[in-house]
């Protein structure tokens, strides 16, 4: 027995135990991987973090899940790649630095070091040789290289556009970064501005992004549905409406060209380029006022179906291409330029939004579909008819069933008259990547009056951020020494582009760079990337379903088309973990209050005020953050790890509970005490095989439970059901404790296997105590080097089972019966009625019926 074992204390001194093992796994390269070792490889990856502050126990859930799962895989013999990096550019880090009056580089690297120390404290280990940080020139050089390749292929382009502008952050936001009309970063309301910006042409891949969702068999359906809806494929027709009295026409995309005869007016987005041309002098002032009002509203507000409809008549008319009727042209804020063509044909009889608009402004309503094909007076309708039916008031199409075949006939009719064509439309819009901030990847383009827009030569990359005193919210446009340059084509005076890239560019391909993070001459080693990717298991929050995950899929396909990789999708399996929440308290006068200042009745301990309470995501602003330091200092790292994985299904949101932490600690102390007090038996029993046929009733129950636990915990790990894995370990511990308490002559071989199994199954979740107990029972190598136990199929079949016995649906007793007899309703009924506790409860009552469900339960109906 080693000196280390001899120093093992009988009491559970978690501080000494954790200090002993904290650096053990890293120092012994348990998580270090060589690229050429792909025989039994597994690429596990958590979404890398923003290092913009300190981590709390809510952050820990993500990383503790990953570490436990990787340890489980290592014990199965996998060569597990689990790298780490930092998504270090962007608004979170820059805004935090501004608040503290320091440079974002200093703030970022300070936080990165804090993160490293927190991971070390948690016992979360990575292949640290692959660590990367996106704000270093060594990384963002390749952002710029990708940009240049995309520019050459037409996937990166610049155009004038109406964009989302956050005044507080002083930058443009992509549509995906606007949540409920506000900046997702700072919460400020956004407004619209006309700016020339850089875009990535993600729409070039819209159909493939949609189709390939069907390949993602192991992605949550919820995420795939969110992406399908965001891509938003629609089949229909692009129709031309001539403008009355002008040599212009409006294009309208519609999924229901079969309702064209019922189009009684048109509505344009206030930003539509033809609005000013269409507007008559009499309407000009009113239209301008309305345009200004609409510009102040967010897209979310404008599309809110519950709010009152607003609009203004332009004074202009269009010609309905189906019947030649003049129809008025209105503008309304519920039509957006970003979707379709920014113009709609309004069919109020068959669209509720158009119906409400028509009723408010007294516009014509003409029904072109009725349920039975009989005439329908639009003036008498009380709501739009959106159900299927027969065509009416539609010329040669009258009498046809409204539906796909009729829509096809309408499209053919329009195409024959050169008035429209079949069209597929997508809701997805190109990815706006320009940002007007300092802390990001400089866009590697040069603007020359003679040569136009010219890429920075590849051998001059990276274009580095200027090392200047931080300017706060002002970007690169304020730094002449950065933007003044020479054109690489004509050698004349030129100006660097002063926009930086959206931080989602950084995170859209980082998983490829991990394979060869220190490669200088290429973006990555293509052969090694093709060996290791796609990522076998990717884990992160559901909030990234559209932004990061969609962008990563797009960039992967674009890089594939550069000939660098041979796969279509970046992530095979995706798991989205839920948030950990905590009670937050708010005072009417003092704002958010720390829970430490709240009494049991929810009152402020100093003022007595009854506080507003809500369960919320942990955040410093709401003062409901739980620090890992506090938990670890009082109960130990293993306790935090155990409770975090036990507290509930990891995909669900769940509230942090202090009593649950104490319960986890008590469980670990209980296991520790059992192992230490029986370690000599465990050691001596190791050399003896279990004689199953000689086991008594209690020993056989323990043997069965051991194999059932191996089976259930193994299955739970595969499914990420860590909470039920812990529950199974607790049940196994109970069975082990019962055996120890009830048996005077103990089977040493069985106890040895039981304790070894318990330690192995627990160690991925609680690695510190796992390693210590493993050494305590006589092993000189790490528990991580041991093989994961395998369940004996015979052990999964119990000789005796426990059947709940109910009276009138309420649990009253438990019947222990032979497993075979438990399948016999008569035996179940006889056994239940023979129980002493049941006999006492039914004494003097009539048993009306006995319901015996084989293998499940017995219910006595009594009166």
User: Whose CA is closest to 197, among 171, 170, 166?
Assistant: 171
Q: Using a pLDDT cut of 70, give the percent of the chain over it.
A: 97
Listing DSSP states for 20-75 in one string gives HHTTHHHHTTTT---TT--TTEEEEEEPPPP-SS---HHHHHHHHHHHHHHHHHHH
φ and ψ at residue 641, rounded to 5 degrees: -60, -50
662, 680, 744 from 735: Cα distances, Å? 22, 20, 15
CA distance linking residue 438 with residue 441, whole number of Å: 9
Q: Does residue 853 register a pLDDT over 70?
A: yes
The DSSP bridge partners found for residue 841 are none
- In the predicted model, what is the mean pLDDT of the chain? 92
Q: Does residue 678 register a pLDDT over 50?
A: yes
With vertex at residue 218, the alpha carbon angle to CA 216 and CA 219, rounded to the nearest 5 degrees, is: 70
Provide the angle, in degrees to the nearest 10, between the axes of the packed helices 722-742 and 748-762: 160
HEC secondary structure over 464-478: CCCCCCCCCCCCHHH
pTM, to two decimals: 0.88
Listing DSSP states for 77-125 in one string gives T-EEE---EE---SHHHHHHHHHHTS-HHHHHHHHHHHHHHHHHHHT--
Find all residues with CB under 8 Å of 610, minimum gap 6, and list them: 601, 602, 603
Whether 501 and 147 have beta carbons less than 8 Å apart is answered as: yes
pLDDT tens per residue, range 301-360: 777 767 788 999 999 999 999 999 999 999 999 898 877 799 999 999 999 999 999 999
pLDDT tens per residue, range 114-158: 999 999 999 999 999 999 999 999 999 999 999 999 999 999 999
pLDDT tens per residue, range 357-397: 999 999 999 999 999 889 999 999 999 999 889 999 999 99
User: Whose CA is closest to 739, among 708, 777, 700?
Assistant: 700
Q: Does residue 818 register a pLDDT over 60?
A: yes
User: Whose CA is closest to 632, among 60, 27, 10?
Assistant: 60
Q: Where are the alpha helices (DSSP H) in 462-539?
A: 480-483, 503-506, 510-513, 526-532
Q: Does residue 444 register a pLDDT over 90?
A: yes
Q: Where are the alpha helices (DSSP H) in 213-280?
A: 221-231, 275-278
CA distance linking residue 579 with residue 650, whole number of Å: 8
Whether 83 and 556 have beta carbons less than 8 Å apart is answered as: no
Burial zone of 497 (CB within 10 Å; 0-12 exposed, 13-18 middle, 19+ buried):
buried
Q: Residue 473 has what pLDDT?
A: 67
Q: Does residue 298 register a pLDDT over 50?
A: yes
Q: Residue 210 has what pLDDT?
A: 98
User: What is the CB-side half-sphere exposure of residue 433 using CA atoms within 13 A?
Assistant: 31
Q: Where are the alpha helices (DSSP H) in 534-610?
A: 547-561
Q: Does residue 222 register a pLDDT over 50?
A: yes
75, 703, 715, 794 from 710: Cα distances, Å? 13, 11, 9, 13
How is residue 259 written in tokens? 């309702």
pLDDT tens per residue, range 796-807: 887 778 899 999
- Look at 14 and 340; give whichever has higher pLDDT: 14
Count the neighbouring beta carbons within 10 Å of the beta carbon of residue 175.
17
């Amino acid at each position: 027995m080693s000196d280390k074992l001899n120093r093992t204390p009988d009491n559970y001194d978690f501080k000494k135990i954790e200090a002993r093992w904290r650096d053990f796994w890293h120092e012994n390269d348990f998580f270090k991987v060589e690229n050429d070792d792909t025989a039994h490889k597994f690429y596990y990856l958590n979404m890398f973090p923003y290092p913009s502050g300190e981590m709390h126990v809510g952050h820990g859930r993500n990383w503790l899940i990953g570490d436990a799962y990787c340890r489980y895989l290592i014990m199965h013999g996998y060569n597990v790649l689990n790298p780490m990096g930092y998504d270090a550019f962007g608004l979170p880090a820059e805004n935090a630095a501004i608040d503290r009056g320091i440079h974002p580089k200093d703030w970022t690297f300070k936080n990165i070091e804090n993160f490293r120390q927190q991971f070390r404290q948690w016992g979360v280990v990575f292949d640290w040789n692959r660590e990367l940080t996106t704000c270093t020139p060594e990384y963002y050089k390749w952002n710029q290289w990708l940009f240049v390749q995309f520019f050459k292929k037409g996937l990166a382009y610049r155009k004038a556009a109406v964009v989302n502008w956050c005044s507080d952050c002083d930058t443009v936001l992509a549509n995906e970064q606007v949540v409920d009309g506000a900046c997702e970063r700072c919460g400020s309301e956004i407004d619209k501005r006309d700016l020339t910006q850089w875009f990535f042409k993600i729409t070039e891949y819209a159909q493939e992004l949609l189709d390939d969702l069907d390949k993602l068999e192991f992605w949550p359906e919820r995420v795939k549905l969110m992406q399908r809806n965001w891509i938003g494929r629609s089949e229909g027709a692009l129709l031309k409406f001539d403008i009355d009295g002008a040599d212009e026409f409006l294009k309208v995309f519609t999924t229901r060209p079969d309702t064209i005869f019922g189009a009684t007016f048109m509505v344009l987005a206030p930003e539509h380029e033809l609005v000013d041309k269409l507007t008559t002098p009499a309407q000009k002032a009113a239209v301008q006022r309305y345009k200004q009002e609409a510009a102040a509203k967010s897209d979310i507000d404008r599309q809110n179906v519950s709010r009152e409809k607003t609009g203004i008549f332009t004074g202009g008319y269009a010609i309905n291409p189906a019947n030649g009727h003049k129809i008025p042209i209105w503008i309304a804020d519920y039509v957006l330029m970003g979707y379709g063509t920014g113009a709609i044909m309004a069919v109020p009889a068959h669209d509720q939004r158009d119906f409400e608009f028509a009723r408010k402004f007294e516009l014509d309503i003409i029904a072109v579909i009725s349920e039975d094909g009989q005439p329908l007076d639009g003036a008498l309708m009380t709501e739009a008819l959106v159900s299927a039916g027969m065509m009416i008031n539609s010329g040669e199409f009258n009498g046809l069933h409204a539906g796909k075949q009729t829509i096809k006939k309408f499209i053919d009719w329009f195409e024959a008259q050169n008035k429209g064509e079949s069209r597929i439309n997508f809701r997805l819009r190109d990815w706006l990547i320009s940002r007007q901030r300092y802390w990001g990847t400089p866009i590697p383009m040069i603007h020359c009056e003679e040569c136009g827009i010219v890429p920075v030569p590849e051998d001059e990359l990276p274009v580095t951020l200027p090392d200047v005193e931080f300017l706060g919210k002002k970007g690169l446009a304020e730094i002449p020494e950065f933007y003044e340059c020479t054109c690489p084509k004509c050698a004349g005076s030129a100006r660097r582009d002063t926009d930086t890239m959206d931080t989602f560019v950084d995170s859209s391909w980082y998983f490829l760079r991990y394979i060869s993070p220190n490669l200088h001459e290429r973006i990555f080693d293509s052969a090694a990337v093709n060996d290791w990717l796609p990522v076998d298991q990717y884990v992160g929050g559901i909030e990234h379903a559209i932004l990061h995950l969609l962008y990563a899929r797009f960039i992967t396909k674009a890089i594939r088309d550069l000939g660098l990789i041979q796969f279509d999708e970046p992530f095979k399996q995706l798991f989205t973990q839920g948030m950990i929440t905590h009670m937050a308290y708010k005072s009417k006068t003092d704002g958010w209050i720390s829970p430490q200042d709240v009494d049991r009745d929810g009152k402020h301990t100093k003022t007595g005020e009854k506080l507003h309470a809500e369960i919320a995501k942990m955040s410093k602003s709401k003062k409901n953050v739980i620090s890992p330091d506090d938990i670890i200092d009082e109960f130990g790292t293993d306790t935090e790890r155990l409770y975090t994985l036990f507290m509930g299904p990891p995909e669900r949101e769940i509230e942090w509970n202090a009593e649950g932490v104490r319960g986890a600690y008590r469980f670990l102390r209980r296991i520790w005490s059992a192992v230490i007090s029986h370690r000599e038996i465990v050691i001596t029993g190791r050399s003896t095989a279990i004689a199953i046929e000689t086991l008594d009733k209690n020993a056989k129950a323990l043997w069965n439970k051991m194999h059932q636990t191996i089976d259930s915990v193994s299955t739970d790990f595969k499914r990420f059901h860590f909470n039920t894995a812990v529950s199974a370990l607790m049940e196994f511990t109970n069975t082990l404790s019962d055996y120890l308490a009830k048996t005077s002559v103990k089977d040493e071989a069985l106890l040895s296997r039981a304790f070894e199994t318990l330690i192995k199954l627990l160690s991925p979740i609680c690695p510190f105590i796992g390693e210590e107990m493993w050494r305590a029972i006589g092993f000189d190598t790490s528990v991580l080097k041991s093989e994961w136990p395998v369940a004996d199929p015979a052990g999964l079949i119990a000789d005796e089972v426990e059947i709940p016995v109910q009276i009138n649906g309420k649990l009253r007793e438990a019947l222990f019966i032979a497993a075979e007899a438990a399948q016999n309703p008569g035996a179940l009924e006889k056994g239940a009625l023979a129980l002493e506790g049941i006999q006492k409860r039914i004494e003097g009552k009539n048993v009306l019926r006995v319901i015996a469900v084989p293998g499940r339960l017995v219910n006595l109906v009594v009166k």
